[in-house]
Structure 1
Amino acid sequence: MINIDRMTMEDVEQVLLLERTCFGEGWTSTPFDRELSREDCSYFLAKENNNLIGYSGSWLILEELHVIIMAVHPDYRRKKIGQKLLIELINDGLKNNAKWVTLEVKVTNMEAQKLYEKFGFSVKGRRKNYYQQDRQDALIMWTEDIGTPEYQEKLSTIENELMRV
């Protein structure tokens, strides 16, 4: 069974190992000591049998929920872990009055783009050479208003699908 929980400082060491596994040695680690103490930051962990298999994080900037990280261990990809983490972030954003969700994704990461499109994201722009490690461009993706009945229905449908898995 997969559990989704809030990240704490006790989880940092495991998360840093997962970052290296997912993003490689050249990845600049997140300054979790600062991030976890901020009220406008949220981080969630996906664990199976107490083993960390994924995590996600966001910043709340006024009415915008900005997804800053989504990482799932390679052995657990395509098992709906990313969907569960994204639902948690969006629901947390809704509790904090977010109206939109935005993120950047590598232009070559088609799998992630499909996930985000399922959640109603669409491409709104491009950032040249955004990723320092490999100089890849990022697509800027946004949702429409996540507080609308239409978006709530979309989110509910995804949540119901995940309950059957």
Structure 2
Amino acid sequence: MDRPASPDSELTFRDAADTDVDALVALIESAYRGDSSRAGWTTEADILEGQRTDPEGVLQVIKSSESRLLVVERNGRIVACCQLEHRGAHAYFGMFAVSPVLQGAGLGKAVIAEAERRSRETWGVTEMHMTVISVRDDLIAWYERRGYRRTGQMSPFPYGDERFGIPQRPDLQFELLVKPLV
């Protein structure tokens, strides 16, 4: 169901369709990898090379009965996305990308707020979980300003699996961040 972000906003939120896969892969790659990602502040280009995702991974999220890929459009163009996955009492937030040229203007805040709202209303979850590469201090601080807390719970980065990128440093791991949804 299409839903404007607010009455006077030009953003529309909807579930991704199979036909969105190529545009979503391009968006996610542009937000995190290569020189295009440097236009925004969420780039991982200095810590990871290679791909961030692939069409198969995006399609898997779209097709899963326990997840949805939320697409955000402005004037008919995809400008952001995020994955929401139902995991019992909590939802998992991932595959978050905002067009690099639109970062820093509040779009990310609007997307995460809508993702939290939809997760509460759709699944009745009481928490949102996400994992962030632990060396991404600026990104973790951004999430903390939105109510997420660091747990100190770490999981390994998939070194050797180039589907997730080619690490440029040996100390990468994921930290679990959690936010109560009340």
Tell whether the structures are fold-level matches, with TM greater than 0.5: yes
Measured after TM superposition, the shift of residue 129 of structure 1 is 4.6
TM-score of the superposed pair, with normalisation by structure 1: 0.77
**Which segments of structure 1 move beyond 3 Å, counting only runs of 4 or more?**
none
Equivalent position of 1:91 in the other structure: 117
TM-score of the superposed pair, with normalisation by structure 2: 0.71
Of 24, 33, 52, which aligns to 1:27? Answer: 52
Instruction: Please tell me whether the aligned partners of residues 131 and 138 of structure 1 are also in contact (alpha carbons under 8 angstroms).
Output: no
Matched to 1:27, the amino acid is R
Of 64, 88, 113, which aligns to 1:38? Answer: 64
Measured after TM superposition, the shift of residue 77 of structure 1 is 0.6
**Identity, % of aligned pairs?**
10
Q: Which runs of no fewer than 5 residues in structure 2 stay unpaired?
A: 1-9, 34-49, 160-164
Distance 1:31 1:56 in 2: 13
Instruction: Please tell me whether the aligned partners of residues 46 and 81 of structure 1 are also in contact (alpha carbons under 8 angstroms).
Output: no
Larger CA deviation: 43-52 vs 55-64: 43-52
1:109-128 matches, within 5 Å, as 109-127=136-154
Of 12, 15, 22, which aligns to 1:6? Answer: 15
Q: Which runs of no fewer than 5 residues in structure 1 stay unpaired?
A: 148-165
Distance 1:63 1:142 in 2: 12
Larger CA deviation: 54-63 vs 100-109: 100-109
Instruction: Please tell me whether the aligned partners of residues 8 and 36 of structure 1 are also in contact (alpha carbons under 8 angstroms).
Output: yes
Instruction: Please tell me whether the aligned partners of residues 42 and 89 of structure 1 are also in contact (alpha carbons under 8 angstroms).
Output: no
Distance 1:90 1:141 in 2: 14
Measured after TM superposition, the shift of residue 94 of structure 1 is 0.5
Aligned length: 146
